[in-house]
Structure 1
Amino acid sequence: MPATRMMIARRAGVSVATVDRVLRDDQAVRPETAQRVHVALAGLRDERASRGRPAKPSTFRVAFVLPQVNSRFLDHVERDIALSASFFREHRITPSFYRCDFASQRDTAVFTEEALDYDALVLAPLDYPWVERLIASLSEADVPVVTVFSDLPGSSRAAYVGVDNRIAGRTAGLLMGRFLGSRIGTVAVVSGSSRLHDQLERRTGFSQVLEEDFRNLRWIAEPDFAEDSDGAGLAIQGLLARHVDLAGVYATGGGIPGIASALIESGDKARVVVIGHGLSPETRAQLGERAIDVILDQDVRGIVHWAGLAAVNFLNDVRGALAIPTPETRIYLRENAHA
């Protein structure tokens, strides 16, 4: 196998983008830099001719990138990335962390140039065309992108690591239907962001089950739902006023603590089933107090670890790099909230 741009960049101590410019004979590259690239390329060719393959680099530079949105879940992910430093060192990963405003096309383009200096990216993407272009640019430069938690399946990302969000939504729909039984009423599906593919998948799975198996329940979508407690509380008050038959609320993203608190304060919790995502000390307590009926959760730190390993496997050309385990969705009720 010929030397890749990534191998040349590591050997020369430059970015993949710089290697690309040198190989295209870009005259804007400084002569001494171009010479380093050509020397590195010649050395790699000699080594491959004599031994078949050069030594692997000592470490890989992997950027972990989250969107710059207000989300308790993403704050949890950021914390788990920081707490995984020793795991990454053990697996020869040098991590860097970024928050990027992917809603801004300009900020995404600026970040793309910076990201080209890394060996790989682990990314929680938002669904914008310029985010797909970011992934495509990195893929063309031999920088693999592994998406986590939320996917962009139509992009050129190398792999996705996370739960099957449509199955998670279907699980929530089945539980909602079982909890409500034969009651007739409205179920609100509230989502924090229409640009997060995971929330769209959960909403799709949830609605599929209600339409297939629980025709007694009418579901309505409430997109761009506020995730902060005050905003979620006000939104729930509006839902109660508009839908006197409100029987259930499913939150595909954040905001579940505010929803539960508002329903308790209004005295409506006894007639409304509440299902959401994300186990935390606050939602554990609300499960115990019966303010929340079901919490669906995932192994956040495990997914962060698997994503880093998947990126390294792609960089090492490991066969079976795509054989990544699909994490399970965990179900928490009042009885096992503190298990």
Structure 2
Amino acid sequence: MTRVTAQDVAKEAGVSLATVDRVLNKRKGVREATIQRVVDAMDRLNFVRDQTAANLARGRSYTFTFIVSAGETAFFNDVRAEIETAKHQASKERIRINSIAIPPLDPRAIVDAIDDMGEEIGDGVAIVAVESQIVRDAIAALRKRGVHVISFISDIPNSERERFVGIDNVAAGRVAASLLKRFVSPRSGDVAVVAGSGTLRDHVERRMGFEQVMRAECPELNVLPWIEGEELAGLVEEKLSNLLSENPNVVGIYSLGGGTRGVIDAIETAKQDMCVVTTELSEHTRAALINGTVDAVLVQDPSHEVRSAIRVLKHLTDGTPVNEKQERIRIEIFVRDNLH
């Protein structure tokens, strides 16, 4: 089927192509009656505007900025690598990508990065958010300047951010609990939970989903207070090793984010019979899956997340609708048998 063009709309509405262009771009100087004739013609012809082509024709360009965590986690190493990879493809669509790596779990670093960029921050920002009033204030200030803001991987919903790009973290926690109860059954005992920080919404939500299932379906399992390892493998290993040495009743571990290498090292040192579900498919977790130290790994695709964030920021800038199905980030489950 031949694509309907703006010229077809002009002919159908009985107006000039320049008038159609003014209506499409919401420029002044067109009478309301004429605008309605053009809109009616577009409806009759099922006209869908090619926004990319229109932007290229006008020389429209974009600048988007990612503010993401630095640190030692394999996942954020992958995220930063995917942003670098995306820069080349985005440049073909006149999109320039800035990437700023900041210390993890540091709200002041987020605010400072925004301030340091000034106007260079561009049309839109994707932020790995930390729960903090100063971050909410910084987001509100960006929106007031007309900069579009999305939270990325870790959400901050009680802010003026426009969308969240990432997995359903409550669902991720529920999936982890469902897997662990199957691995542990029919034993009873304690379950340890290892997190990065309670200031990260994604970690809080995973814990919430995990406990929902555990409390409703696993009365024989007692979920211990979580260990906060600040996404540092050494600190995670120290805290988890101390817990395991003091509590031989631990039968399961859910590592919900950050410091996974420390979790693996602590388990291998303890030599207790435990079932383990973790996140972050890295060199260490692959080896741990293969040798049986870890039973399952829940994974989110950083490539999809980065590409989705760019598309969403572009839609927000253009004022065009988001394809919700395309931007849904799925949770993948890896066990030893489906590693690739």
2:9 paired residue number:
none
Match of 1:205 in 2: 209
Q: Distance in 2 between matches of 1:88 and 1:157?
A: 23
The Cα of 1:57 is off from its aligned counterpart by 4.7
Pair 1:73-2:75 in alignment: yes
Query: Which residue is 1:328 aligned to?
Result: 330
Distance 2:169 2:182 in 1: 20
Check whether the contact 2:254–2:276 (CA below 8 A) recurs between aligned residues. yes
Partner SS state of residue 28, structure 2: helix
**Aligned twin of 1:94:** 96
- The structure 1 residue matched to 2:220, chosen from 216, 219, 224, is 216
Deviation at 1:152, TM superposition (A): 0.6
Partner of 1:266: 270
The residue that corresponds to 1:36 in the other structure is none
Is the CA contact 1:274–1:292 (under 8 Å) kept in the aligned structure 2? Answer: yes
| Aligned CA distance change for structure 1 residues 324 and 197 (closer, same or farther; 3 Å) | farther
Offset of 1:115 from its aligned partner?
A: 4.4
Distance 1:320 1:335, change over 3 A: closer
Matched-pair contact (CA < 8 Å) for 2:107–2:135 = no
Residue pairs, 1:225-236, within 5 angstroms: 225-236=229-240
Cα separation, 1, equivalents of 2:294 and 2:271 = 14
CA distance in 1, matches of 2:295, 2:118: 42
Report Cα offsets for 1:188-239 as digits up to 9, x if no partner: 1111122111011000000110001011000013242154443332222111
Separation in structure 2 between the aligned mates of residue 323 and residue 287 of structure 1, nearest angstrom? 31
Q: CA RMSD in A?
A: 2.5
Given the superposition, is the C-alpha separation of residues 178 and 115 from structure 1 closer, same or farther in structure 2, using an over 3 Å criterion?
Answer: farther
Counterpart-to-counterpart distance in 2, 1:157 and 1:215 = 39
The structural deviation recorded for 1:256 is: 2.1
What is the aligned partner in structure 2 of residue 38 from structure 1?
none
Check the 8 A contact 1:123/1:145 in 2, yes or no. yes
Q: Does 1:134 align with 2:138?
A: yes
Residue in structure 2 matched with residue 32 of structure 1 by the alignment: none
1:114 paired residue among 114, 117, 121: 117
- Structure-2 separation of matches of 1:160 and 1:82: 21
Inter-partner Cα distance in structure 2 for 1:207 and 1:91: 44
Unaligned runs of 5+ in 2: 1-24, 36-53
Describe the superposition over 1:258-297 as per-residue Cα deviations: whole angstroms up to 9, x where unpaired: 22232223322xx111111111232112111111111000
Which of 257, 267, 277 aligns to 1:253? It is 257
- 2:49 is aligned to none
2:307 to 302, 305, 308: 305
Stretches of structure 1 lacking an aligned partner (at least 5 in a row): 1-45
Give the partner amino acid of 2:63.
Answer: R
Cα distance in structure 2, aligned partners of 1:106 and 1:292: 34
Question: How many Å apart are 1:112 and its aligned residue?
Answer: 3.2
Whether contact under 8 Å (2:74, 2:280) holds in the other structure is: no
Give the aligned partner of residue 48 of structure 2. none
Specify whether residues 168 and 310 from structure 1 end up closer, same or farther in structure 2 by C-alpha distance, changes over 3 A only: same
Say yes or no: does 1:48 pair with 2:27.
yes
Deviation, structure 1 residue 49: 2.9
- Report the CA distance shift for 1:138/1:222 in structure 2 as closer, same or farther (over 3 A): same
TM-score (norm 2): 0.78
2:317 maps to which of 299, 315, 318 = 315
2:183 paired residue among 158, 179, 182: 179
> CA, structure 1 residues 254+62, in 2 after alignment: closer, same or farther (shift >3 Å)?
same
1:148 to 2:127 alignment: no
Match of 1:167 in 2: 171
1:327 alignment partner AA: I
Residue-pair matches, total: 291
Identity of aligned residues (%): 26
Task: Report Cα offsets for 1:158-177 as digits up to 9, x if no partner.
Answer: 11111100000000001011
Q: TM-score, normalised by structure 1?
A: 0.79
Match of 2:129 among 125, 129, 154: 125
Q: Which residue identity lines up with residue 89 of structure 1 in the other structure?
A: S
Tell me the equivalent position of 1:23. none
Deviations 1:137-163 (A, max 9, x none): 111111001111111111111111111
CA distance in 2, matches of 1:204, 1:221: 12
Which secondary structure does the structure 2 equivalent of 1:183 belong to?
coil
